[in-house]
Amino acid sequence: MTKTNKSAVTTHFKIPTHSIKQRIKWGIFAFIIFALLVVILVVAFEQKLNTPLTLSKAELITIKKGTSVGKLSTQLVKKHWLDSRFWLRNYPKLQPKFADIKAGTYQIKVGTTVKQLLEQLISGKEYQFEITFVEGTTFKQWLALLQQQPYINHNLNTKTVSEIAHLLGIKHDNPEGLFFPDTYAYTAGENELTILQRAYQKMSQQLTLLWENRAPELPFKSSYQALIMASIIEKETSKVAEQPLIAAVFINRLAKNMRLQTDPTVIYGLGERYHGDITRKHLKEKTAYNTYRIKGLPPTPIAMPGKSALQASLHPAKSNYLYFVSQGNGYHVFSTTLKAHNKAVKRFLLAPSQKKK
């Protein structure tokens, strides 16, 4: 028997060299085409995203919590700020960082591009509304002004003045005078109480600082009494330069145990009963705020004093004046004696804003 030697037969297939080179060339060509398409697509997206929104004036836009870029694109198209959703809706697929837009209310200015809008929304820099409280206004006027403001959470609608004071941690039932008049910024949805809290804290800081650096020998037992005086000064004159002299008159009268006899306190005490004129009956009526009938200061401030009035209260001018009367032009004539004062009163008796002290 003859043995056959079996051996594996291996067949080698040799790929032609020209076929490999051709595949490489096609691969490179396909990559270049793909890269060009990507570049063209990116350029197209950037061009579209750098196109300004269709705005004729600055506008506000509110982004609700959970809003996606897709929903934003729908919102913009509905507002006619954007012609097509496609480019904005799909942009985060190329640039994922632009997907994280934040809720809030934003101001969009004329000329803002779609990309700038996205940058604004991912930054979370909301529009800052402003409310200005003017020196000499009252707490009730502040509450009315807050009610008129847009985008504020009106959480004090059903609260009384004393309840608001309690919420702010103020020990006085009437918080008059305890808030610093200024311009305060707020974002959409901020509470009325929060804005008042900031104004209260600012007044506390200002009053504490000025009280610590007050002039010597003032007739005030506390910074609160100085605040009461500042509110009267604020209501008596709109001329900052005169405030230290007005302060000197009242402080000199307190030192001599004279009644202050200041009309603004009478008006405050009348409240809703005041209709533009103070009558003899009003002056004879004994209320806690009628400084023609009571001695010393009224129980609370009568308005919100500004910094200059606070400064005047704690740093009055050095003078012997005890009286003043309005000239009718915002300025006053000051006198040291009743005789000189009466003469000034006769001189300016016809002035519509004349006040006797």
β-strand 59-63 against 104-108: which pairing, if any?
antiparallel
Quote the pLDDT of residue 31: 75
Domain layout of the chain by residue ranges: 31-127, 129-207, 215-347
* Beta-bridge partner residues of 129: 186
The CATH topology of domain 31-127 is Dna Ligase; domain 1 (3.30.1490)
Percentage of the chain surpassing pLDDT 70?
Answer: 90
- Whether 84 has a pLDDT exceeding 80, the answer reads yes
Q: Measured between alpha carbons, how far is 337 from 320 in angstroms, rounded to an integer?
A: 9
Is the pLDDT higher at 22 or at 252? 252
Integer CA distances (angstroms), 175 to 171, 237, 353, in order:
8, 22, 29
Q: Please list the residues that pair with 303 across neighbouring strands.
A: none
Residue 14 has pLDDT above 90, yes or no: no
Provide CB contacts within 8 A for 310, sequence distance 6+. 206, 207, 210, 226, 227, 230
Task: Convert the pLDDT of each residue in 194-215 to its tens digit.
Answer: 999 999 999 999 999 999 999 9
DSSP-based helix, strand, coil % in the chain, nearest 5: 45, 10, 45
- At residue 63, the 3 state secondary structure works out as strand
- Indicate whether 3 pLDDT > 60: no
pLDDT on residue 167? 96
Residue type, 48: K
Of 132, 330, 297, 303, the closest CA to residue 234 belongs to 303
- Looking at residue 357, its pLDDT comes to 47
- Spatial contact of 294 and 288, defined as CB atoms under 8 Å apart: yes
| DSSP string for residues in 228-246 | HHHHHHHHH-S-GGGHHHH
| 234's tokens | 């604020």
> Between residues 322 and 13, which one has the greater pLDDT?
322
Per-residue model confidence (pLDDT) at position 299: 97
Q: What is the dihedral of CA 233, 319, 218, 307, to 10 degrees?
A: 40
The verdict on pTM exceeding 0.85 is: no
Helices (H), 103-222: 114-123, 139-148, 161-167, 192-212
